[in-house]
Amino acid sequence: MTNPRLRIAPSPTGYLHVGTARTALYNYLYARQKNGVFVLRIEDTDVERSSKEMTEIIIEGLKWLGLNHDEGPFYQSDYFSHYTDYLPQLEKTGGIYRCFCTPKELEERKQNVIAEKKAWKYDRKCLHLSDEEIKENIEKKKPFAWRVRVPEGKTSYDDLIHGVIEKENSEIEDFVIVRSDNTPVYNFAVVIDDFRMKITHVVRGDDHISNTFKQLHIYRLLDATPPSFAHLPLILDENKAKLSKRTGTVSVLAFRDMGVLPEAFVNFIALIGWNPGGDREIMSLSEMTDLFSFEKVTKKGGVFDYKKLEWMNSKYITNYDSSKLLDLTMPFFRSAGIETSSFDREKLMKIMDSVKEKARYLKDIPELTRFFFEDVKTYDEKGKAKYLTPERIEHLKVLKEKLNSLKEFSHDEIENIYKTYAGEKDLKGGDIIHPTRLALSGRTEGPSLFLMMEIMGKETVFSRLTKIIESDIL
């Protein structure tokens, strides 16, 4: 087999959905694994609902995820005339015919059938028009759509995930492929595009399974070999319903804006419906490429677990390169109103290192580090009562004097002073560490105290200790 060609074909009628992102990822993984081609096609035949803004957001979202396409983006709207160019070829097969039924006529006949408590499908009225009747309608310039004449029998295909699926052709109505305004319907446009672009594998959500049977009839009329189909299980919310914006966040870029790392998000969505085997969950894009297979994609929908995403993102933040992490976090500092310009890059990276193990999202980092950049204005109320007792403030006075003797205000030197003092006074470490942390940050939790003090520097540490020692804040 020649190298596979796969595509992602989003419709720019909304943001890049989580489900579309996962579909793009699986297409990308298979294409990269098999040295194939990954194509980006924008399906904008719905001219009224499609927008340039949504197209740009979709492309931006795929770029953020690192799913770079090899060809495209191609736009269906650039090829409207190309679709209808295939009509003469299809008409010669006898497999399509003109339908002059108006929407009003169709609705009336549909309601009559429903009133008889029967299932409606197109009644083939126009299939039985004589050549003279067709000619007369055309001469009258009566609008018409093109329908596919579905033959008797069954239609089946071997899905890469679900196995063989078949359907009685009697359950498929003679469907429209080109509307009366000469615009192609989705099922026709997608087949022509995939045929023209020589797509070998169509990987998409299993809500498209019903479309596949119609599309196979178009391939039959084109006398073309259909691509291999793989229909992915839907992504579900925590109530096992289809994930939608009514039940949670579904826009990919919304996760970026809340501080999810792209590598974490890709890793997370890859595992919604796919398991490479074993208990391993943290994987790079390259590792996923090596491990991916459709055989290990589940048939049932997977749940979008926000807590798991939070856990996975925290793991990625902890292990992320601090320099890159700093660059990604700067917009969040600006949004939080924190001015960082007074710190050089080296110190900012140290600050990043000191808190990244505690961050769930990038947006958490500014608040976890605010005390480095701004003077402490408030102190944890429970912490004040517990840790800033008169006895412990006396310890802070002594420690401040001992710290003043340090020539090098470093983590190790500071730690040595605290350990020595605790030993001399027969104190537990927390007896002096917790009061110091509260005095310096206003919080009872945070980064390693001695690293925090080194980053702050002697002047800031002394200033904040003095503020507690000399004031009555209780």
CATH number at residue 356: 1.10.8
Same structural domain, 129 and 204? yes
pLDDT value at 474 more than 60: no
User: Binning pLDDT at 50, 70 and 90, where does residue 249 land?
Assistant: confident
Q: According to the model, what pLDDT value does residue 265 have? A: 98
Same structural domain, 331 and 462? no
Entry pTM: 0.91
Same structural domain, 380 and 363? no
On whether residue 277 sits in a domain, the answer given is no
CATH number of the domain within which 435 lies: 1.10.10.350
Same structural domain, 134 and 206? yes
Q: According to the model, what pLDDT value does residue 41 have? A: 97
Q: According to the model, what pLDDT value does residue 473 have? A: 59
pLDDT value at 83 more than 80: yes
Q: Which structural domain range is residue 94 located in?
A: 85-232
Domain count, the chain: 3
Same structural domain, 205 and 167? yes
Same structural domain, 107 and 150? yes
Same structural domain, 222 and 352? no
For 391-447, the pLDDT digits (tens) are: 999 999 999 999 999 999 999 999 999 999 999 999 999 999 999 999 999 999 999
3-state secondary structure the chain: CCCCEEEECCCCCCCCEHHHHHHHHHHHHHHHHCCCEEEEEECCCCCCCCCHHHHHHHHHHHHHHCCCCCEEEEEHHHHHHHHHCCHHHHHHCCCEEEECCCHHHHHHHHHHHHHCCCCCCCCCHHHHCCHHHHHHHHHCCCCCEEEECCCCCEEEEEECCCEEEEEEHHHCCCCEEECCCCCECHHHHHHHHHHHCCCCEEEEEHHHHHHHHHHHHHHHHHCCCCCEEEEECCEECCCCCECCCCCCCCEHHHHHHCCCCHHHHHHHHHCCCECCCCCCCCCCHHHHHHHCCHHHECCCCEECCHHHHHHHHHHHHHHCCHHHHHHHHHHHHHHCCCCCCCCCHHHHHHHHHHHHHHCCCCCHHHHHHHHHHCCCCCCCHHHHHHHCCHHHHHHHHHHHHHHHCCCCCCHHHHHHHHHHHHHHHCCCHHHHHHHHHHHHHCCCCCCCHHHHHHHHCHHHHHHHHHHHHHCCCC
Mean pLDDT, all residues of the chain = 94
pLDDT value at 5 more than 80: yes
On whether residue 345 sits in a domain, the answer given is yes
Same structural domain, 362 and 444? no
Q: According to the model, what pLDDT value does residue 181 have? A: 92
Q: According to the model, what pLDDT value does residue 472 have? A: 63
CATH number of the domain within which 184 lies: 3.40.50.620
Give me the mean pLDDT over the 148-163 stretch: 97
pLDDT value at 246 more than 70: no
Whether 307 is catalytic is no
For 185-216, the pLDDT digits (tens) are: 999 999 999 999 999 999 999 999 999 999 99
Give me the mean pLDDT over the 274-287 stretch: 92
On whether residue 401 sits in a domain, the answer given is yes
On whether residue 251 sits in a domain, the answer given is no
Give me the mean pLDDT over the 445-463 stretch: 95
On whether residue 405 sits in a domain, the answer given is yes
Same structural domain, 362 and 383? no
Same structural domain, 106 and 165? yes
- In terms of pLDDT, which residue wins out, 246 or 275? 275
Q: According to the model, what pLDDT value does residue 248 have? A: 67
Percent above pLDDT 90 for the chain: 90
On whether residue 466 sits in a domain, the answer given is yes
On whether residue 327 sits in a domain, the answer given is yes
Give me the mean pLDDT over the 135-162 stretch: 97
Same structural domain, 354 and 452? no
pLDDT value at 153 more than 90: yes
On whether residue 379 sits in a domain, the answer given is yes
* Among 63, 245, 296, 397, the one annotated catalytic: 245
Q: According to the model, what pLDDT value does residue 459 have? A: 95
- In terms of pLDDT, which residue wins out, 242 or 142? 142
Same structural domain, 98 and 228? yes
Q: 42-56, 58-72, 225-239, 435-449: which has the minimum mean pLDDT?
A: 42-56
Give me the mean pLDDT over the 26-34 stretch: 98
